[in-house]
């Protein structure tokens, strides 16, 4: 059973919510964040990317950055930009992006569920990134960036979420990226109880995005358990900030690749090696139409690759992923990229930037070849997580992204 709790969210005043809401800390560079927040003291980027208020070039992991984040967070509370709700509540976060609609429950999820595997993961985490999120959370005494969770949709949960939205939204605004954000407060005790009960009937939840945030929050809970005897397990730091969406509403985009060189090969020799494991077609198309198909951009033109039968195990939840097929049959043996996590010759481009970004990077000379993918499906994610395995790096790009600053979960100091 999935254990979720309401919490006393810290959130913006209604009239300036659109000024507070900000992209997650890990989707913007410091320069992009500095430009976006310029002239807007309300922007939550001052909390999530506090280096923008320090001299350019400041070490992102210096104590000054975390201290500035705390200072800015406290300033937003003190000047009334954000406030804490009096009652423990759930919240509903609805996003509309073109014809795509997703509606999630904002809640505090259990760190113990994370440890026990009730909340399932599909990615490895890096200690340095976990440490960064730990320092940010501990310095602020708050979790400011929600973890994106999903679950196999439930009629009971759908009905309760629809009921919660009958009250009308607290916030309703659009951002420059064309996404509409609609936010509801759910503070009716009976409805809160029913929602908690409906989630308790779910066998598990899945991390879609936010593996480092959930891991960091859980490490803080474990650290405090050791340092502070007599804890009850009900303290706020036993839970982490989430937005939980039904799987039927998930929108996953491709996570594409660009590579700096052909590993000493000329284009003709490179394509000849590629043809050993892929059918190569001279088809001027930038996006695959199906799984196991890839598009390759080289020397100013696109080609289509299709994995040959026998080059992957159809029943293997990891080996049958498109990202695994390209890695195993092309990136490693042909281009010499054994570990895409550490190899500096490869970079990853989220599908939201489109295939035009791939062309731009190659035409600009910094990269030699680009690959576009068919998106990983939510069923593939479930299969990997249910098998207790992890996906290759950069397998999924979820869109639209959740905004930071609409609800903060305080955990104490």
**pLDDT on residue 413:** 86
For 193, phi then psi, to 5°, come to -60, -45
For 204, phi then psi, to 5°, come to -165, 165
Does 1.10.405 match the CATH number of domain 255-374? Answer: no
- How do 205-209 and 119-120 pair as beta strands? parallel
**pLDDT on residue 352:** 86
Where are the CATH 3.30.1760 domain residues in the chain? 255-374
**pLDDT on residue 168:** 93
Evaluate whether 261 touches 360 at the Cβ level (below 8 Å): no
Give the DSSP letter of residue 330: I
| pLDDT tens for each residue of the chain, 413 residues long | 899 999 999 999 999 999 999 999 988 999 999 999 999 999 999 999 999 999 999 999 999 999 999 999 999 999 999 999 999 999 999 999 999 999 999 999 999 999 999 999 998 888 899 999 999 999 999 999 999 999 999 999 999 999 999 999 999 999 998 999 999 999 999 999 999 999 999 999 999 999 999 999 999 999 999 999 999 999 999 999 999 999 999 999 999 999 999 999 999 999 999 999 999 999 999 999 999 999 999 999 999 999 999 999 999 999 999 999 999 999 999 999 999 988 999 999 988 889 999 999 999 999 999 999 999 999 999 999 999 998 888 899 999 999 999 999 999 98
Which of these, 316, 282, 288, lies nearest to 302 by C-alpha position? 282
CA dihedral 290→179→159→396, nearest 10 degrees, is: 40
**pLDDT on residue 55:** 96
Q: Where are the alpha helices (DSSP H) in 201-278?
A: 211-227, 267-274
Instruction: Write 133-139 long-range contacts (CB < 8 A, 24+).
Output: 133/212, 133/213, 133/215, 133/216, 133/217, 134/216, 134/219, 134/220, 135/61, 135/66, 136/66, 136/69, 137/216, 137/217, 137/220, 137/411, 138/220, 138/413, 139/66, 139/67, 139/69, 139/70
Q: Is 293 exposed, middle or buried (0-12, 13-18, 19+ CB in 10 A)?
A: buried
Q: Is the dihedral of CA 391, 405, 130, 89 positive or negative?
A: negative
């Amino acid at each position: 059973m999935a254990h979720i709790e309401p919490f006393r969210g810290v959130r913006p005043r209604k009239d300036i919510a659109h000024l507070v809401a900000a992209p997650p800390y890990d989707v913007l560079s410091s320069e992009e964040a500095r430009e976006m927040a310029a002239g807007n003291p309300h922007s939550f980027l001052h909390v999530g990317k506090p280096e923008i208020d320090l001299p350019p070039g400041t070490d992102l992991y210096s104590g000054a950055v975390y201290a500035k984040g705390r200072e800015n967070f406290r300033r937003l509370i003190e000047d009334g930009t954000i406030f804490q709700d009096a009652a423990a509540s759930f919240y509903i976060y609805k996003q509309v992006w073109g014809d795509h609609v997703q509606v999630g429950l904002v809640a505090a999820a259990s760190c113990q569920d994370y440890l026990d595997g009730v909340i399932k993961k599909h990615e490895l985490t890096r200690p340095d990134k976990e440490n960064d999120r730990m320092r940010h959370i501990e310095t602020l005494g708050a979790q400011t960036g929600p973890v994106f969770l999903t679950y196999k949709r439930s009629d009971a949960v759908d009905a309760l979420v629809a009921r919660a939205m009958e009250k009308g939204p607290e916030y309703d605004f659009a951002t420059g990226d064309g996404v509409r954000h609609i936010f509801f407060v759910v503070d009716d005790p009976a409805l809160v109880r029913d929602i908690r009960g409906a989630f308790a009937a779910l066998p598990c939840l899945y991390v879609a995005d936010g593996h480092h945030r959930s891991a960091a929050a859980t490490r803080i809970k474990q650290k405090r358990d050791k340092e502070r005897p007599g804890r009850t397990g009900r303290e706020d730091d036993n839970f982490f900030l989430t937005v939980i969406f039904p799987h039927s509403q998930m929108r996953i985009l491709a996570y594409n690749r660009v590579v700096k060189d052909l590993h000493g090969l000329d284009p003709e020799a490179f394509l000849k090696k590629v043809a050993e494991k892929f059918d190569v077609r001279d088809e001027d198309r930038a996006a695959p139409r199906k799984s196991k198909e890839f598009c390759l951009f080289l020397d100013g033109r696109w080609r289509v690759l299709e994995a040959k039968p026998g080059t992957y195990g159809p029943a293997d939840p990891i080996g049958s992923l498109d990202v695994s097929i390209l890695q195993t049959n092309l990136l490693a043996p042909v281009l010499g990229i054994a570990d895409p996590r550490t190899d500096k010759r490869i970079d990853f481009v989220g599908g939201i930037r489109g295939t035009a970004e791939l062309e731009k990077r190659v035409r600009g000379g910094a990269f030699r070849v680009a690959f576009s993918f068919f998106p990983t499906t939510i069923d593939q994610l479930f299969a990997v997580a249910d098998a207790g395995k992890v996906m290759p790096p950069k397998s999924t790009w979820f869109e639209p992204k959740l905004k930071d600053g609409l609800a903060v979960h305080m955990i104490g100091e």
